């Protein structure tokens, strides 16, 4: 069953159509990456999918229920981690639950068992400025996961990280996503990241923007070391630029 369906979306800014009938379906437990040039409409697509903005026309369905223009049904991690510097890691993580007015003890019971999986069990009493980039990103991911533990929209989740940390995060997040059968829609400029994390990749292109190219990614363990991987990377690059 589809976890998220975007059906025949239309949207314009200042009378210029950005989407003119865009559709996408993401299956439960699937990771779908959207790549595309700057300004093509990736963030707007996420804002529509998350209900932050309503499309001029078309529907957003989550678990088969119409949620068009309704916020609060997905976890949405913005490009910047947006951690509050004056709050400790624990309180930053607790934010979505505090906003739901959950009692403190219930918040504690939800957060504490998840800290080890996110590598934060030793860090929850620190302030964001005392963390590394990768640790901050884990805090932001856990906060997003607590706002919705089945569907996450991630906008450039690992872009601020160095090469080594990025690769560690891919491995960790890939395993976590599989274990929890999380459905994820990821925006990224990084083709390697898209290929590493996603089951399917779409190239968003043009004005109005369409999902012009679709790639299904081989997830076998030796794919990333294969010539096919380099060929796929080249094909995606050509699709973005062509």
Ligand X SMILES: Nc1ncnc2c1ncn2[C@@H]1O[C@H](COP(=O)(O)OP(=O)(O)OP(=O)(O)O)[C@@H](O)[C@H]1O
Q: How far is the CB of 174 from ligand X (least distance, A)?
A: 23
Beta sheet of 16-27, edge-to-edge order: 16-27, 2-13, 57-62, 65-66
Nearer to ligand X, 4 or 89 (CB): 4
Question: Residue 157, SS3?
Answer: coil
Tokens of 101: 């007015």
Tokens of 95: 């934010």
Nearer to ligand X, 44 or 147 (CB): 44
The site for ligand X (CB under 6 A) is made up of: 13-14, 18, 36, 38-44
Q: How far apart, in Å, are the Cα atoms of 228 and each of 218, 219, 220, 225? A: 9, 12, 12, 9
Q: How far is the CB of 187 from ligand X (least distance, A)?
A: 7
Nearer to ligand X, 30 or 155 (CB): 155
Q: Using alpha carbons, select from 123, 20, 144, 2 the residue that is nearest to residue 61.
A: 2
Nearer to ligand X, 49 or 146 (CB): 49
CB 46 within 8 A of CB 151: no
Which DSSP letter does residue 209 get? B
Q: How far is the CB of 42 from ligand X (least distance, A)?
A: 4
Nearer to ligand X, 178 or 214 (CB): 214
CB 146 within 8 A of CB 178: no
Tokens of 123: 């860090």
Q: How far is the CB of 54 from ligand X (least distance, A)?
A: 13
Interatomic CA distance for residues 39 and 189, integer angstroms: 12
Q: How far is the CB of 44 from ligand X (least distance, A)?
A: 3
Q: How far is the CB of 35 from ligand X (least distance, A)?
A: 10
Nearer to ligand X, 50 or 92 (CB): 50
β-bridge pairing 31-35 and 200-205: parallel
Q: How far is the CB of 122 from ligand X (least distance, A)?
A: 34
Nearer to ligand X, 38 or 225 (CB): 38
Q: Using alpha carbons, select from 142, 38, 27, 166 the residue that is nearest to residue 83.
A: 142
């Amino acid at each position: 069953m589809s976890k998220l369906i975007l059906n025949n979306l239309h949207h314009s800014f200042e009378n210029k159509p950005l989407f003119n009938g865009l559709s996408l379906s993401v299956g439960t437990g699937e990771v779908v990456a959207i790549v595309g040039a700057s300004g093509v409409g990736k963030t707007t697509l996420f804002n529509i999918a998350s209900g932050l903005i309503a499309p001029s026309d078309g529907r957003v369905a989550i678990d088969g229920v119409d949620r068009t223009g309704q916020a609060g049904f997905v976890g949405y991690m913005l490009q910047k981690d947006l951690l509050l510097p004056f709050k400790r890691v624990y309180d930053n993580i607790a934010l979505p639950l505090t906003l739901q007015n959950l009692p403190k003890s219930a918040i504690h019971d939800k957060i504490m068992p998840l800290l080890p999986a996110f590598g934060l069990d030793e860090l929850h009493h620190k302030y964001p400025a005392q963390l590394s980039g990768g640790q901050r990103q884990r805090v932001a991911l856990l906060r997003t996961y607590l706002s919705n533990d089945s569907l996450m929209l991630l906008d450039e989740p690992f872009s601020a990280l160095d090469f080594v940390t990025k690769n560690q995060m891919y491995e960790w997040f890939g395993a976590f996503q599989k274990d929890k059968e999380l459905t994820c829609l990821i925006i990224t400029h990084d083709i390697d990241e898209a290929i590493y994390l996603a089951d399917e990749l779409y190239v968003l292109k043009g004005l109005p923007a369409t999902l012009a190219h679709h790639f299904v990614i081989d997830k076998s363990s030796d794919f990333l070391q294969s010539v096919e991987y380099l060929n796929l990377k080249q094909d995606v690059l050509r699709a973005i630029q062509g």
